[in-house]
Structure 1
């Protein structure tokens, strides 16, 4: 079983690619959250994989909430692995996964990192198509190295530096501020399609008079609404309008 969170398709792509080789089922954290599904049983001889992106040196808030609520039943021989995708660093993301699972007496046997396109367009420009294509090609190379290890249920020792452990505490405070919905707004070219409201992982958006309104104080800040808006009318302050949009080229469906 592969459990994943994906806003723009990157981590869903990882889950699907690994599942193609291992024959495992994949399960979306977004769907689990919407359906209030927090009881998961892993079959005998089935592996358990957690695949999520790194947000602000840690985990997306929806992943933290899910891991704090979910009850996972495994057998004594279940191989457990975690994958954190990242743009600049995974920092302590894998450490947080290990800690959440440890509370259920589940030990992570192997942890992997996959460098992918960073979709935080507040800082990163996504308009260079050649760069993104190269980043995608590099993902394939990384998967060629990781997948056989998962198939062979190979353990590893993933070390997290004290710098990243301490630094992640400060980064999490920054994340808490950055994910305030007051930063998000819609431009006049909105066509009232309501895709943003329909597909927000935490239902933070309500359509009012044909326009999206963020009705929660905080959201995941996954930018699913921004990147999948057909007219690119959703923006974060004045920092994203010239940085483009991104969705994984191999994934075209919402969870």
Structure 2
């Protein structure tokens, strides 16, 4: 089974592609967390492959992913082949090491880890890629996905094909600061372009948005920016820096797949 977390669809598409090629079940991390359960318990079949697919937030896994793992209980686990695939715009820092440490705390060993470059979507800092660059990244991602899926199907261990980037340890140190100061909802708002369609409420990974003519944000947030990038009228904004920037969602993913 593959446990996935995704804001604008890159990680879901990655998880879905690997799942289809390896006949694996898909489990939404955000759906599990938002269920309010104290423990996330799943029964494994004999020899079942375990995967974790998620985006990189400030050079580490999203806090929701780590919180999920801390409460994860896998029945019948017996050194099952376990992999992780963080998706990123450029590099992942020490994301896989953070993931490995988190899994070790619940006595799960990471057999392999991969990173895959996808189009940018975090427009609070920076902007989306040009259409040409977006197409190039998506085309290369397809090739990378096939290679990753093949390695997983063969259950090759010790395979860590990860683009860490420069100074990975230094960059990953930024993550606690990101979680403390950047992951907040006060700066979200909707302009007069809002038509009350409710898409932002459907795609919110924290289920923090409620739409009554216009969206209102609660306190919980993962900073996934799904509410901004999926908004069909570009009404949803964060602070003063996103209004003139582009928007990106994975073209191979439907809103219904993320909000199920």
Q: Report the TM-score when normalising by structure 2.
A: 0.90
Q: Tell me the distance in 1 between the aligned counterparts of 2:246 and 2:103.
A: 36
**Structure 2 counterpart of 1:164:** 168
Question: Which runs of 5 or more residues in structure 1 are unaligned?
Answer: none
Q: Tell me the distance in 2 between the aligned counterparts of 1:245 and 1:107.
A: 37
* Match runs of 1:224-235 below 5 Å: 224-235=226-237
CA shift digits 1:157-181 (9 cap, x unpaired): 5487994234322332034211221
- Per the alignment, in what secondary structure is the counterpart of residue 174 of structure 2? helix
Once the two structures are overlaid, the 10-residue window that deviates more, 233-242 or 49-58, is: 233-242
**Structure 1 counterpart of 2:243:** 241
Q: Tell me the distance in 1 between the aligned counterparts of 2:142 and 2:123.
A: 23
Q: Which runs of 4+ in 1 moved over 3 A?
A: 157-163
**Structure 2 counterpart of 1:108:** 110
Aligned pairs, how many?
253
- Per the alignment, in what secondary structure is the counterpart of residue 57 of structure 1? coil
- Per the alignment, in what secondary structure is the counterpart of residue 250 of structure 1? coil
CA shift digits 1:181-214 (9 cap, x unpaired): 1121111110112221233221222335x21122
Question: Which runs of 5 or more residues in structure 2 are unaligned?
Answer: none
- Per the alignment, in what secondary structure is the counterpart of residue 106 of structure 1? coil
CA shift digits 1:107-137 (9 cap, x unpaired): 0010111111121012333262222111100
Once the two structures are overlaid, the 10-residue window that deviates more, 161-170 or 81-90, is: 161-170
Once the two structures are overlaid, the 10-residue window that deviates more, 25-34 or 73-82, is: 73-82
**Structure 2 counterpart of 1:6:** 6
CA shift digits 1:24-81 (9 cap, x unpaired): 1111112212334511222112100111110001121221221122222343251111
- Per the alignment, in what secondary structure is the counterpart of residue 144 of structure 1? helix
* Match runs of 1:17-166 below 5 Å: 17-36=17-36, 38-126=40-128, 128-156=130-158, 158=160, 163-166=167-170
**Structure 1 counterpart of 2:15:** 15
Task: Indicate the RMSD between aligned Cα atoms, in angstroms.
Answer: 2.0
Q: Tell me the distance in 2 between the aligned counterparts of 1:72 and 1:91.
A: 28
Q: Report the TM-score when normalising by structure 1.
A: 0.92
Task: Check conservation: 2:79, 2:108, Cα contact below 8 A.
Answer: no
Q: Tell me the distance in 1 between the aligned counterparts of 2:211 and 2:179.
A: 26
Once the two structures are overlaid, the 10-residue window that deviates more, 4-13 or 159-168, is: 159-168
**Structure 1 counterpart of 2:215:** 212
